[in-house]
A and B are shown apart, each in its own frame.
Chain A
Amino acid sequence: MSPVVHATGVRMSYGDTQVLNGVDFAVAPGEVSCVIGPSGSGKSTFLRCVNGLEPVLGGSLRVLGEEVGYSLREGRYRPWSPKEFASFRRRIGMVFQRFNLFAHQSALENVACAPVHVLGLPAEQARRTAMDHLERVGLAEHAHKRPHQLSGGQQQRVAIARALAMSPELMLFDEPTSALDPELVDEVLEVMRGLAADGMTMVVVTHEIAFAREVGDRLTFFADGVVVESGPPAELVANPGHERTRAFLSSVLSQREKAG
């Protein structure tokens, strides 16, 4: 089967700062691919490129069978219109570190919003499926609450339900538990475990090494805008092939131990 994400030599920069220096990265259908790396190494930027929130400046980034941002017609690549970007992003769910819930809407409205306004579903039907998704993340009884009335862990679960409501073919998680108090991390990881068990294709930027080992099919180490190495999580954690990976892993693991 062809990969869901296939990046070869992806380059990207903000102005003069080169952020991605040729990223090679692939995700197979149904795979849970975890990404780790030091702050500023370009993990978030890469995820944002994958769903077209940032433009790629070089290399090739194929996602869900499309070259992100361009369509090949009559031997030339033509840039997408905002509408084409929108209909591409519909197929990809994204979960952010800071939840980014719509502050003026209840949990239920957050989940039903895109199905109504993007897919054009009837409001009643969208609310019913939204309720099912909230049930799935264990928040049915909080459906009427506004984001500020929910804990961080609950907000993040609403955010996951909101992404799932679009029936995405790929889910991107950008440090979904980094902004949470330690005791709230597990409830979010639990939901993600369930998604992985259902066969969802996922790219997860995380520093939860235990989660990566348990749920991940692959673990990739990013540094300075390139992939340093990648492999089965248990193997990479046990025998990192590069000194940088080893140093990073040991610093993350010792921080965990201190926190735990």
Chain B
Amino acid sequence: MRTEPFTGPSGERIPVVRTRRWGRLAAAAVAILVVGWLVYVMVVNPRLHWDKVAEYLFHDRILDGIWVTIEISVLATVLGLLLGVGMAILRLSHNPVLSGLATLYIWFFRGTPVLVQLIFWYNLAFLFPELVLKIPFTMIGVKWDTNEVMTGFTAAMLGLGLNLAAYFAETVRAGIQAVDKGQTEAAYALGMTPAKRMRVIVLPQALRIIIPPTGNEFISMLKTTSLVYVVAGHDLMTNASQIYKANNLIMELLIVASLWYMLMTAIATFLQSRLERRFGSDAVRLVRGGGRGARLLSKAAA
């Protein structure tokens, strides 16, 4: 808003009146009161032991849990991304059986709650007490006890990874379809096979569109891992819950866990913004040629 005075016809200075936005001030005051009151009742609440929060913040089992959470998040995200790219390629395949199976996969994993999938994988031993990998009609192969393989950790990784793959496949598919069709023609005209065109021309461009959203996937994965506590995955949430089940300091340990989740999310958000700066600006320009995806992307970026 202008604060410099105007100059009148005879050179006198005419000041500008400051407008007061009473509505805005009132809204801010109400908001501060509400938030302040909420913080106050938490902080001074005699039933909340802040000393216990401080004590458990760096408890060994909490710190161990954090590592497991990060491990599960990273592994499940990597599994989800790789499988997601594979599913997207199958989905776009001209072979109706392959693309049908990919559609079925995506529908199944998006259609069932991730909690159900976690419990399913954890209890796989009910269906298959032994996991056998062998060459059909021979005796050559290996065999595992399902209960030994399907620990909370592997169940978590599989459940979360397979689930992410189903969501991610749709992102990748959009990325692949956003690459200008003319480049595909040019690739074929130069004598590339469909597989080579996908690897050399389409995927490198599609991945640049896909990389920024992977940051979001990872951030949401960090928090989704808390579901793992139903299968005792020894992650942050599992360990926190085991501690509070023993000592009944439920709120204190939930606060401890939340503080750590918030820190992890903040770090991941920072890394994501760097990733986006690296790839994001290029992505829109790269996929030129006016595909629907490219236009949507450029609108979203604007």
In contact, A98 and B182 (Cβ under 8 angstroms) = yes
Interface status of A238 (Cβ within 8 A of chain B): no
Interface stretch among A56-64, A79-87, A225-233? Answer: A79-87
Interface status of B135 (Cβ within 8 A of chain A): no
Complex: how many Å from CA A91 to CA B288?
28
Question: Given the complex, which residues of B lie within 8 Å of A159, measured CB to CB?
Answer: 186
Interface status of A102 (Cβ within 8 A of chain B): yes
Complex: how many Å from CA A89 to CA B285?
29
Could you tell me which residues of chain A, from 83 to 133, have a CB within 8 Å of some CB in chain B?
Answer: 83, 85-94, 96, 98-104, 113-114, 117-118
Complex: how many Å from CA A92 to CA B187?
12
In contact, A53 and B188 (Cβ under 8 angstroms) = yes
Closest to A90 in B: B191
In contact, B186 and A86 (Cβ under 8 angstroms) = no
In contact, B200 and A113 (Cβ under 8 angstroms) = yes
In contact, B191 and A114 (Cβ under 8 angstroms) = yes
Interface status of B201 (Cβ within 8 A of chain A): yes
Closest to B286 in A: A103
Interface status of B64 (Cβ within 8 A of chain A): no
In contact, A89 and B188 (Cβ under 8 angstroms) = yes
Q: What's the least CB distance linking B178 to chain A, in Å?
A: 11
Interface status of A203 (Cβ within 8 A of chain B): no
Interface status of B62 (Cβ within 8 A of chain A): no
Complex: how many Å from CA A53 to CA B201?
17
Question: Given the complex, which residues of A lie within 8 Å of B187, measured CB to CB?
Answer: 102
In contact, A83 and B286 (Cβ under 8 angstroms) = no
Interface status of B190 (Cβ within 8 A of chain A): yes
Instruction: With A98-B182, A104-B208, A113-B200 as known contacts, state yes or no: A82 contacts B190, CB within 8 Å.
Output: no
Interface status of B86 (Cβ within 8 A of chain A): no
Q: What's the least CB distance linking B299 to chain A, in Å?
A: 18
Residue in A94, A100, A166 whose CB lies within 8 Å of B183? A100
Complex: how many Å from CA A114 to CA B288?
21
Interface status of B225 (Cβ within 8 A of chain A): no
Closest to B282 in A: A104
Complex: how many Å from CA A114 to CA B205?
17
The CB with the most chain A CB atoms within 10 A, among B180, B183, B189, is that of B189
Interface status of A245 (Cβ within 8 A of chain B): no
Residue in B189, B201, B208 whose CB lies within 8 Å of A89? B189
Instruction: With A96-B182, A100-B182 as known contacts, state yes or no: A166 contacts B285, CB within 8 Å.
Output: no
In contact, B191 and A118 (Cβ under 8 angstroms) = yes
In contact, B205 and A104 (Cβ under 8 angstroms) = yes
Complex: how many Å from CA A236 to CA B190?
33
Chain B residues within 8 Å of A, Cβ to Cβ:
180, 182-183, 185-194, 196, 200-201, 204-205, 208, 285-289
Chain A residues within 8 Å of B, Cβ to Cβ:
51, 53, 82-83, 85-94, 96, 98-104, 113-114, 117-118, 147-148, 159, 162-163, 166
